[in-house]
Chains A and B, each alone.
Chain A
Amino acid sequence: MNDLLLTETGWYLLVGSVLLAMGTVRLLFGRDALVRLIALNVAGGGGLLVLVSLAARSSSPDPVPQALALTGIVITAAVTGVGLALIRRMEDRTPD
């Protein structure tokens, strides 16, 4: 484990995991809807960073985890759009 942290890949794995954990905590315990949505994006960034650093373990990068990360980015973008649309409706407090 100590050896892994000394490599560049290990460093990125660590950063990705920390981002994932931070985003998750804020998502679960945040109160403001927008903050929670951004926290989800931070967590998503962390998760995708873990995938990309897994791809960089060998000297020639492995395309499969990168393709996973790419699909993950697309899905995160779609989810963020849906989330923003819901937030706009929730914030729109005009009476019926």
Chain B
Amino acid sequence: MLADVLLPAAVLAPIGAALVAAVVRGRAAVAVGLAGGLLSAVLALAVTVLVAVDGPAVHHLAGWTPPLGIALRADGMAALLLALVAIVGPVTLTAAASHPATYGEDRRFWPLALLLWAGLAGSVLAADLFNAYVALELVSLSAVGLVALGGRQAWEPAFGYLLLAVLGSLLYLVAVGAIYGLTGTLDMQDAGTALVAAPAAATRWPLALAVVGLGIKAAVLPLHSWLPPAHAAAPGAVSPLLSALVVKAAFVVLVRVWFDVLGPDPQVAVVLAWCAGAAVVVASLLALVQRSLKRVVAYSTVAQVGYLVLLFPLTSATHDPDVQRTVWAGVLLLAVAHGLAKAALFLAAGTVKLAAGTDDLDRIGGVLRSLGTTSMAMGLAAVSLVGLPTSLGFAGKWLLVSGAVRADQCWAVVLVVSGSLLSGAYLVRIVVVALREDGPDPSAGDDDPRKLHAALRHLPLGLALLVTLLGLNARWLAELSVVGAAVGGLP
């Protein structure tokens, strides 16, 4: 069976490449990192194709079935996220290889980035609660190491990130223990089956613990405080990985715990609705007042996580499986669109910071003007983040809004529309900086913009073009996203 090869390989290949990249020196580490990234991307895309063609796939490691063995399960959600990793990963690694200053010229970037990849693949493919915990911990530890590559100014944000990420996993671990105490199994689907008839009072506190724990890791406002400093201080080739991918891994595990295991809880859903609304409004307003480019982009991530969190209240508000599937597809399309657009935006921001020697919005105007393709990439990424037509962001928001209307949740429509206007406002600020004539001369920076490697200047544009055009293929992605999904009745 193909799945029995591909599913474990998608997790183990990056680990193997990371081990090799950790022991080789000099330029060989770059070569191993790139080759490992490409191999892992091919394997991840193969899993995506497998799910798209054959439907959900399961593999039991070493032939041991649950409850004793470890199962990996690829459904539509995992397939979409793996495809996202398989696109953002190699692009970011190529940008890093083309210009070592984007990762602090520290060769430990390569093993850490590949370990991060393994953790991401593991957490979206994990079919049991405990392996999801281990994979998320791998993601957090390697992400903290990657942030710390940013040098002196990055160590404190990295430390704060470490403490909160580990606190989040600890709360999740206690929730996992409680679920095991209730059901006697760690397999997500078995535990969910055992809890179908359980009273809401019994499942509520493990669910609350898991929501808070994973909410910290996914930067759900008000648990987001670690994200802006960490993502802004991280080196240029690290921020795209963190904002596009790392936040999504915790979100995927939260979705699985919510839908597969502990079941929708209307009261927790109300709390999450408030969190989502606050995230979209407050984080967008905060993005509007930031003074540096990378912090604007980082706050934008907190705001965009708010849209993803809408999944929980909107699916709880209706019993129509069709509407639930619409919301589900909308949120997953938004997750992919945000991943691609944010990776493009952060890569472009890293390029600008490298060329200008700063990312202070008042001092990058000249560089933005001389780096035409990079500014273009930022503009296109903004188009998708705001949700203008033909972009994948538009397709996701359209599905989300139509689901909200059919579920009679008009507040969500107002929220999505006003959030889009606010994101338009803070993204236009960047464009205004580029158009203003009074910026300092580009030669004021460390590096002549034209001397930057071509890959670094063009890769963000490639990502941004992809997300702008993917909206035209959104139907295919939406159909993939609901393969094996736990909404709208049993799959």
Please give the residue numbers on chain A whose beta carbons come within 8 Å of chain B beta carbons, in ascending order.
20, 24, 27, 33, 36-37, 40, 43-44, 47, 50-51, 54, 57, 64-65, 68, 71-72, 75-76, 78-79, 82-83, 86-87, 89-90, 96
Asked if residues B144 and A68 are in contact (CB atoms below 8 Å), the reply is no
Given the interface pairs A75-B137, A79-B141, the reply to whether A51 lies near B162 with Cβ below 8 Å is: no
Asked if residues A87 and B159 are in contact (CB atoms below 8 Å), the reply is yes
Interface residues of B in 163-209 (CB under 8 A from A): 163, 166-167, 169-171, 173-174, 176-178, 180-181, 186
Which residue of B162, B167, B174 contacts A50 across the interface (Cβ within 8 Å)? B174
Contacts of B130 in A (CB 8 A): 68, 71
Extra A-B contacts (10), CB below 8 Å, given A40-B163, A82-B141, A86-B158? A20-B174, A24-B167, A43-B167, A47-B170, A50-B174, A65-B181, A68-B130, A68-B173, A75-B134, A89-B152
Asked if residues B181 and A90 are in contact (CB atoms below 8 Å), the reply is no
Interface of chain A, main secondary structure: helix
Which residue of A51, A82, A90 contacts B145 across the interface (Cβ within 8 Å)? A82
Interface residues of B in 132-148 (CB under 8 A from A): 134, 137, 141, 144-145, 148
The yes or no answer to B360 lying at the interface (CB within 8 A) is no
Nearest-Cβ distance from residue B145 to partner chain A, whole angstroms: 7
Interface string of B115-155 (1 = CB under 8 A from A): 00000000000000010001001000100110010001001
A-B contacts, CB under 8 A, total: 73
Whole-angstrom CA separation of A27 from B186 in the bound complex: 29
The yes or no answer to B156 lying at the interface (CB within 8 A) is yes
Asked if residues B163 and A51 are in contact (CB atoms below 8 Å), the reply is no
Asked if residues B186 and A64 are in contact (CB atoms below 8 Å), the reply is yes
Asked if residues A44 and B177 are in contact (CB atoms below 8 Å), the reply is no
Asked if residues B156 and A72 are in contact (CB atoms below 8 Å), the reply is no
Asked if residues A83 and B162 are in contact (CB atoms below 8 Å), the reply is yes
Nearest-Cβ distance from residue A6 to partner chain B, whole angstroms: 18
- Closest 5 pairs (CB-CB, A-B): A51-B177, A54-B181, A86-B159, A47-B170, A47-B174
Whole-angstrom CA separation of A50 from B342 in the bound complex: 39
Asked if residues A54 and B162 are in contact (CB atoms below 8 Å), the reply is no
Interface size class for chain B?
Answer: 20 to 34
Given the interface pairs A43-B170, A90-B155, the reply to whether A83 lies near B163 with Cβ below 8 Å is: yes
Whole-angstrom CA separation of A87 from B178 in the bound complex: 33
Whole-angstrom CA separation of A83 from B156 in the bound complex: 10
Interface of chain B, main secondary structure: helix
Asked if residues B162 and A27 are in contact (CB atoms below 8 Å), the reply is no
Contacts of B170 in A (CB 8 A): 20, 40, 43-44, 47, 72
Whole-angstrom CA separation of A52 from B159 in the bound complex: 29
Asked if residues B162 and A79 are in contact (CB atoms below 8 Å), the reply is yes
Whole-angstrom CA separation of A50 from B175 in the bound complex: 10
Whole-angstrom CA separation of A28 from B169 in the bound complex: 15
Nearest-Cβ distance from residue B297 to partner chain A, whole angstroms: 24
Asked if residues A54 and B158 are in contact (CB atoms below 8 Å), the reply is no
Nearest-Cβ distance from residue A92 to partner chain B, whole angstroms: 10
Asked if residues B177 and A50 are in contact (CB atoms below 8 Å), the reply is yes
Nearest-Cβ distance from residue B15 to partner chain A, whole angstroms: 16
Nearest-Cβ distance from residue A38 to partner chain B, whole angstroms: 11
Which residue of B137, B159, B176, B186 contacts A33 across the interface (Cβ within 8 Å)? B159
Contacts of A40 in B (CB 8 A): 163, 166-167, 170
Asked if residues B173 and A86 are in contact (CB atoms below 8 Å), the reply is no
Interface residues of B in 61-114 (CB under 8 A from A): none
Contacts of B176 in A (CB 8 A): 68
Asked if residues A86 and B181 are in contact (CB atoms below 8 Å), the reply is no
Whole-angstrom CA separation of A78 from B144 in the bound complex: 12
Asked if residues B141 and A64 are in contact (CB atoms below 8 Å), the reply is no
Asked if residues A86 and B180 are in contact (CB atoms below 8 Å), the reply is no
Asked if residues B173 and A51 are in contact (CB atoms below 8 Å), the reply is yes
Which of A83, A87, A96 has the most CB atoms of chain B within a 10 A radius of its CB? A83
